[in-house]
Amino acid sequence: MPQNANSVLDHFDLFRQPEYREMFEKKRMSFENAVDDVEVQRIREWLTTPEYRELNFGREALVVNPSKACQPLGAVFCSSGFAGSIAFVHGSQGCVAYYRSHLSRHFKEPCSCVSSSMTEDAAVFGGMTNMVDGLANTYNLYKPTMISVSTTCMAEVIGDDLNAFIKNAREKGSVPMDYDVPFSHTPAFVGSHVTGYDNMLKGVLEYFWDGKAGMAEKLVRVPNERLNFIGGFDPYTVGNLRELKRILDLMGAEYTIISDNSDVWDTPTDGTFRMFDGGTTTAETAEAVNSKATISLQEFSTQKTLPFIAAHGQEVIAFNHPLGVQATDRLILEIARHTGKPVPDSLRIERGRLLDAIADSHAHIHGKKFAIYGDPDLCLGLTGFLLELGAEPTHVLSTNGGKDWADKVEALLASSPFGANCHAYPNRDLWHMRSLLFTEPVDFLIGNTYGKYLERDTGTPLIRIGFPIFDRHHHHRFPLWGYQGGLNVLRTLLDAIFAYIDSNSNVPAKSDYSFDIIR
């Protein structure tokens, strides 16, 4: 083998050496039931045709590479936004390892989460013992302020009752009788991580607003002038919530961020490990019932939570990722309406700078066709901003977006001449997107890391915006929301466009007539 101690090759180069190439080919021919290369090419070409696209969109029982995660992952993300809280997932260790690794790989931060470690015996006899022991261990080992409990497929299939199990655990002394243990059922076989976030958030608010799950009297609401804000399941929570707070502080608003996880996913390296950092305190969460209004930055992340809040006497307002000029305008005007305070000149100047940047660069984006996939609110926010830029969001696909989402996207597309011949695709996966890219090609693809396989397969350049982003670093630290977020997204789009132009025009004396210094 070519590897030796004096010259250690990285895997990029190592596996390209002749010895490895020969080994891989022998493995393919001997063990992978390989077919003739000509047949592989024939099938591959057929898979790019309109005929195959029709068959592909006709399938019902099979999902191929869905652009979503499961409910408990969203519940874990929601739990991380409460000060001193640790997520407790009633299910197997393997499931929880998936949630932790997914979030850690995206944010490059440790994910604090525990499991009731259900195994085969618990699947048969129920996980009551696991809950009793697990809550006791979590409470005594990590000393959290609150333990928020959710479920996996296993616990849901056998019908474990979280309310009864937690009550029994209290009676057995696992945690004190007055200790905070909100919960939510989050079956992973339905919905997505967005649904799980919504269910967990509603569970936490029910616990604090409706009498700690039956342990106390329901709170009596005493309205005040504060505003509540909910970020939703947001892979850019670090940058977005900090940008939101900056805007609110500039406007002199009194506010509470419900489930504020902007610090726990961005802890410093200073010699101190922070299992918990920042977050909304239990007192702030309970007091939030008295706020005059709640504003959700992601409608489809709060479909159950917002009606619950409205039933407690608050006005609720929902956005779909306030990205770009118009969406940010609306957010700021809603804040001004509820606070009664004027929009500061500093924000007006930021708006003008974003408009100036768009004017500077619109010629490079105008008419470009984009395909977008991801969570429902993010797709809506990106679609609206692309229309503002004069781009054409040709394919807008969301695996966890339903008919209501599709209707909203189609209405948005119909509101702009740049939305003509653009369409929404609800409940579709990335194999559907592959057919769309081959039969109706676009200039660029916007989505998460998994789109790199579509980029390689179809030749459509990928712009990474979404969840998860595993193969690039630090995107989550920069906002998408607000005028500053719009600038970040604009720069990201332009960098990709210019990089593609350069890579496609750099052959000397053949294509370098567009290999320009100035763009």
- Answer yes or no: are the C-beta atoms of 134 and 166 closer than 8 Å: no
Show the tokens assigned to 418. 């740049």
Show the tokens assigned to 118. 């259900």
Sheet of 315-318: strand order equals 255-258, 227-230, 293-296, 315-318
- Answer yes or no: are the C-beta atoms of 108 and 473 closer than 8 Å: yes
Which residues, other chains included, contact 414 with Cβ-Cβ below 8 Å and sequence gap of 6+? none
Using omega within 30 degrees of 0 as the cis cutoff, is the peptide bond preceding 468 cis?
A: yes
Give the closest residue to 151 by CA, choosing from 136, 131, 133: 131
Q: Is position 238 annotated as part of the catalytic site?
A: no
Cα–Cα distance, 122 to 448 (Å, whole number): 36
C-alpha of 132 from chain center? 32
Give the closest residue to 431 by CA, choosing from 46, 40, 35, 47: 47
* Partners of 114 in beta bridges: 88
Helix axes 128-142, 162-171, angle to 10 degrees: 60
Cα–Cα distance, 255 to 226 (Å, whole number): 5
Residue 67 burial class via C-beta count within 10 angstroms: exposed 0-12, middle 13-18, buried 19 and up: buried
Distance between start and end Cα atoms, the chain: 47
The amino acid present at 3, given as its one-letter code, is Q
Rg (CA), the chain: 25
C-alpha of 370 from chain center? 20
Among candidate residues 149, 153, 194, 289, the one labeled active-site is 153
Q: Is position 153 annotated as part of the catalytic site?
A: yes
Interior angle at CA 239, CA 234 and CA 244, nearest 5: 85
Q: Which residue has the tokens 């997505």?
A: 192
* Partners of 464 in beta bridges: 447
Show the tokens assigned to 58. 């006709």
SS (H, E, C) 103-114: HHHHHCCCCCEE
Show the tokens assigned to 486. 């719009």
Cα–Cα distance, 369 to 392 (Å, whole number): 5
Among candidate residues 40, 64, 157, 190, the one labeled active-site is 157
Cα–Cα distance, 244 to 313 (Å, whole number): 24
* Partners of 463 in beta bridges: 446
Cα–Cα distance, 456 to 269 (Å, whole number): 36
Point out the residues that are catalytic.
153, 157
